[in-house]
Amino acid sequence: MNTKKWLAVGTCASMLGMFSACSDEKKNPVIPDDPESSSSAEVVPNSSGEVNPNSSSVTTASSSSVTNLMSSSSNPEDTILDSNATYMGVSEIMYNAPGGSVLEWVEVYIKNGPDLTNMQLSNVRLDGAVSFAFPAESLKKDEYVIVTNDVALFKQTYPSLPAGCRVFGPWGKDPKTNAVAKLVNEGDVVDVKVRGEGDVSAAFSSNPPWPSLADGKGRTLVYKGSGNEADPTSWGASAVENGNPCVGGDKVIDGSTVRLNEIKPYDINATENKDGWIELYNIGSAPVDVAGWELESKLKGKKWTIGGANTVVPANGYLLLEASATVFGEGLFLSDNGDDIYLYEAAAGVRTGKESSLLISAGKQSSGVVEVAGSVAQGAMATETPGAANSALKAGPIFISEIHYHENEQDLKDLEFLELVNKGATDVALVESVNNTPQGWKIEGINMEFVSGDVIPAGGKMVLFDDSLKAYEAQLRDRYSIDAAVPIRFYAGKLSNRGETVAVKKPYSYVTKSDGTKQWYYELSDATLYSDRWPNMYAADGKGMSLNRKDFTTMGYGYTAWEVKAPTPGK
């Protein structure tokens, strides 16, 4: 969206050619503001509490737990009520090709609705991590097309493409390097837009719980055909080496029924490694023996094989493994700097490809998986619960209190913003001194890092706007009646119109690498995976309303933590 549109007055001609806010082609799908009163169809939330606002019935089947924390959901193919609207999708992503290849590509298709006779006239394009405007060609419902960074390399890598497979590219250049843009291996979002509207936001990442086999190990990320495309559980690693471009319905490698449920890192100051342990949980209906399975630390690049006397995880039950030499050979030493830990199923000493993973948050507390509003989320635990059901996620003192993620395109004064609140009893300076080294807090999702002097007072708020508005702080305060005591800051990123992870991260520790640079580790203060599919919250999806936080007892996952209200930044 155009964040400077509110400065315009009068007709569209005064908007300096800002087409998307004024074009007759810019039309939203017909979505009832209240499905209970505007439609006779029953609207059923999925396990994350999500509902496609254009869907008559949505159900889900959830699996194990985006970067840092992530809620999970998956649901059958959405049934679109508005048959006149075309809904795009992303079905496959190669973001980190094997063997050091620089090849990257995204597979795009029509998820629901009628064919497109001219993609250029319909203003179909990629945005977000990469940018690309599709040419004046048609696209049919049963077609899959590729957009890549290198057309020649793609065709060389895949010499036997299906007949009629169209490959477009290269996508746009990175303005910072003037070279063809690159999909960041750590993770990002690819948006597909039709007529200027954000149609789908497809996330990808190399961090748990995203499948590691898609991270430079010969597989692609494949959308499973249902669920929120910003959610890692909606994706799997391709069953076929190098993926299967221009073919829909690709198979993925199934996940394991045994998941990493909670992990306590060792205490570096302890005389014995008595504090470290790993808890497994079996979601299946039959016991599973994990003897010979492998555990891997991504940070250390180290692997351990599970052994010992007790290695059976009971059906729908827990198994607690001490981080000792008895279980893990030389002993499992997990740093409190945080880590990416993977559990790989093995048979006869060979990995099957099935895995579970957990990101250990920086700090000395345990990290684990919990149920939040019917979904599954990862994060630091408020209370350690070895061998038992997990407690709530640790959160605060800085929380995300309001998200205005999708502006009303018909209202030139409506602006995207994010609001933070300090629920603590003392002021919070958003730059930490770690071993006399200053480092700012970050907000994942909007490319925000705080600097010296950024402080949120006890009980106070801070409002964040797009940095294209940096010169207009006085007008922003006047527009929204924001008190002078409420700090306003600006971010370089963009909130997705469809949903994404937004996380507030506090620097905790660092290590100095061999090249002299510092690798920083963060603990999370708050995070959410908001969604435009949450039930009864359609007014926040381009209708001028905001998501307002009503529950600050844990992380902001799940629709039950939020409600829809008029935008009130800083109040």
**pLDDT category of residue 37 using cuts at 50, 70 and 90:** very low
Q: Which amino acid is at 67?
A: T
Domain boundary among 352, 380, 408: 380
Helices (H), 99-168: 151-157
Residue 121 maps to a domain: yes
Is it the case that residue 189 has pLDDT exceeding 70?
A: yes
Is it the case that residue 33 has pLDDT exceeding 80?
A: no
Q: What pLDDT is stored for residue 83 in this prediction?
A: 66
**pLDDT category of residue 501 using cuts at 50, 70 and 90:** confident
Interval 65-88 mean pLDDT: 49
Interval 402-419 mean pLDDT: 91
Q: Name residue 507's beta-bridge partners.
A: 522
Same domain, 223 and 104: yes
Interval 506-511 mean pLDDT: 89
Same domain, 126 and 228: yes
Tell me the Ramachandran region of residue 475: left when phi exceeds 0, alpha when psi lies from -120 to 50, beta otherwise: alpha
Q: What pLDDT is stored for residue 62 in this prediction?
A: 28
Same domain, 373 and 490: no
Same domain, 343 and 413: no
Q: What pLDDT is stored for residue 38 in this prediction?
A: 35
Higher pLDDT, 331 or 22: 331
Tell me the Ramachandran region of residue 224: left when phi exceeds 0, alpha when psi lies from -120 to 50, beta otherwise: alpha
Interval 549-556 mean pLDDT: 92
Beta-carbon-side half-sphere exposure of residue 129 (alpha carbons within 13 Å): 25
Same domain, 435 and 526: yes
Interval 64-78 mean pLDDT: 35
Q: Which amino acid is at 415?
A: L
Q: What pLDDT is stored for residue 330 in this prediction?
A: 64
Is it the case that residue 122 has pLDDT exceeding 50?
A: yes
pLDDT in tens, 192-225: 988 877 778 898 998 888 999 999 999 999 999 8
Q: What pLDDT is stored for residue 12 in this prediction?
A: 29
Of 3-12, 61-70, 317-326, where does mean pLDDT reach its minimum? 61-70
Same domain, 407 and 554: yes
Interval 550-560 mean pLDDT: 90
Please state the domain count of the chain.
Answer: 3
Q: What pLDDT is stored for residue 309 in this prediction?
A: 83
Structure tokens at 330: 């030389």
Q: What pLDDT is stored for residue 364 in this prediction?
A: 82
Is it the case that residue 559 has pLDDT exceeding 60?
A: yes
Residue 36 maps to a domain: no
pLDDT in tens, 259-314: 999 998 875 555 554 568 899 999 999 999 999 999 998 877 888 889 888 899 99
Q: Confirm if 291 and 306 have CB atoms less than 8 A apart.
A: yes
Residue 215 maps to a domain: yes
Contacts of 82 (CB under 8 A, 6+ apart): 29, 30, 31, 54, 113
Of 45-59, 93-107, 189-203, 427-441, where does mean pLDDT reach its minimum? 45-59
Same domain, 166 and 197: yes
**pLDDT category of residue 159 using cuts at 50, 70 and 90:** very high
Structure tokens at 289: 């023996």
Domain boundary among 207, 237, 267: 237
Residue 46 maps to a domain: no
Same domain, 422 and 555: yes
**pLDDT category of residue 228 using cuts at 50, 70 and 90:** confident
Q: Phi then psi for 468, rounded to 5 degrees?
A: -70, -10
Residue 20 maps to a domain: no
Same domain, 408 and 467: yes
Structure tokens at 33: 């503001």
Q: What pLDDT is stored for residue 230 in this prediction?
A: 84
Same domain, 279 and 307: yes
Q: Phi then psi for 478, rounded to 5 degrees?
A: -70, -40
Q: Confirm if 218 and 367 have CB atoms less than 8 A apart.
A: no
Structure tokens at 382: 């408020």
For residue 67, what is the DSSP state?
A: -
Same domain, 204 and 298: no
Owning domain of residue 302: 258-380
Residue 47 maps to a domain: no
Domain boundary among 202, 237, 272: 237
For residue 156, what is the DSSP state?
A: H
Place of tokens 């509902």: 51
Q: What pLDDT is stored for residue 251 in this prediction?
A: 94
| CATH number of domain containing 273 | 2.60.40
| pLDDT above 70: percentage of residues in the chain | 82
Q: What pLDDT is stored for residue 291 in this prediction?
A: 94
Of 35-39, 277-281, 549-553, where does mean pLDDT reach its minimum? 35-39
pLDDT in tens, 308-332: 888 999 999 999 988 776 677 666 7
Peptide linkage before 170 cis (omega within 30 of 0): yes
Average pLDDT for the chain:
82
Q: What pLDDT is stored for residue 472 in this prediction?
A: 94
282: closest CA among 372, 356, 391?
Answer: 356
Q: What pLDDT is stored for residue 9 in this prediction?
A: 29
Is it the case that residue 77 has pLDDT exceeding 50?
A: no
Q: What pLDDT is stored for residue 287 in this prediction?
A: 97
Higher pLDDT, 252 or 18: 252
The total of other beta-carbon atoms located within 10 Å of residue 278's CB is 26
Q: Phi then psi for 540, rounded to 5 degrees?
A: -85, -5
Of 62-76, 421-435, 502-516, where does mean pLDDT reach its minimum? 62-76
Residue 39 maps to a domain: no
Residue 9 maps to a domain: no
Same domain, 131 and 209: yes
Is it the case that residue 517 has pLDDT exceeding 80?
A: yes
Please give the Cα distance from 430 to 435 (Å, whole number).
16
Q: Which amino acid is at 105?
A: W
Please give the Cα distance from 393 to 383 (Å, whole number).
8
Q: What pLDDT is stored for residue 438 in this prediction?
A: 96
**pLDDT category of residue 81 using cuts at 50, 70 and 90:** very low
